[in-house]
Amino acid sequence: MERTILITGVGKRIGYALAKHLLAQGHQVIGTYRTHYDSIEQLGKLGASLHSCDLSDPAAIDELIHHIKAHHDRLDTIIHNASDWLPDNSGLSPSDTMAKMMQIHVSAPYQINLALAPLLTSAAKTNDDSIGASNIIHMTDFVAEKGSKKHIAYAASKAALHNMTLSFASLLAPYIKVNSIAPAMILFNQHDDDAYKAKALAKAILPKEAGNAEIIALVDYLHTSHYVTGRGYAVDGGRQLT
C-alpha cells in the first residue's frame, strides 16, 4: 500500500535514511529540515516534498500544517524525528535551554499531531483493513529512561515525548497507532575519535554500532502491525543491563 508519510528532520542520519528507504518503497514522503544539506537536494531528486521549517517557531509549524492540508488529501504516517541535542552548558540560560528542548521535542509534535490527526483518521478509514492503519511514531532517546548529567533538559523533553505517546495512543485509537522508538548509539559521527567510540560501545552489552537499518526495520514493522500501540521500543544494545 502506498503511504503518504511526514518525517521531520530529514537532513541527515536517521531521518535521511528513513526518507530514502520509504521513497524507494514507493511511498510519498513529506520532509522537513532546518539546515539545507546536500542530502536535501538528493531527496528532492528522488521525489520528496521538502519544506524548510524551524520547529522552534510555532508560526512556522502552522505554515507547514496549512501547506500539508492544502496540498495533500491524505496522510498515513507522521514520524517525529527532528531533534536538537542541546547540552545544559550551551551558554543559554536554564529557562531558555529547557524551553527550547520542550518546544522542539514536545510542543512541536503536540501541535502537529492535533492538527493532522483528522487526515490520519480519514486515511485509515479508506483502507480495507482500517483498524490501526495510520501511524504516529515519536523518536525519543535512551536517556528518557536513564537521565543524563550533561543533557538534563534534553532528557526531560524526550521523556515527556514518550509520555505523550501514551496519551495520543489512547486519544486516537482505534484508527491511529502511536508508538515511540528510543535509540542509543545508532551511528557514530565522522569526527568521533577512537577513544570516544570505545567509551560509547562499552555502555552496551551488544558493543556495536547499530546502523540505520535497525530503525528502518522497526518502522517497517510498526507500519505493518495492526495490534501495537502506546508502546516504546528501545534500540540500545541492552544498555539498561550494564
Q: For 103-153, how does the pLDDT look when each residue is reduced to its tens digit (9 = 90+)? A: 999 999 999 999 999 999 999 998 766 556 899 999 999 999 999 999 999
The yes or no reply on domain 4-241 and CATH 3.90.1150.10 is no
Instruction: Name residue, grid cell 501514551.
Output: 166
CA angle 197/201/205 to nearest 5° reads 175
Alpha-carbon gap, residue 122 to 27, rounded angstroms: 18
Determine contact, residues 138/178, Cβ cutoff 8 Å: yes
Catalytic residue among 16, 33, 110, 154: 154
Per cent of the chain over pLDDT 70 is 98
| Whether residue 154 lies in the annotated active site | yes
* Number of CB atoms found within 10 A of residue 150's CB: 10
* pTM (2 d.p.): 0.94
Alpha-carbon gap, residue 66 to 59, rounded angstroms: 11
Helical ranges in 72-209 per DSSP H: 94-102, 108-125, 143-146, 152-172, 194-201
Per cent of the chain over pLDDT 90 is 79
116's grid cell: 493532522
Looking at per-residue pLDDT, the higher value among 82 and 188 belongs to 82
User: Is residue 217 within a helix (H) or strand (E), and if so which, with residue range?
Assistant: helix 212-224
Is residue 175 pLDDT above 80, yes or no? yes
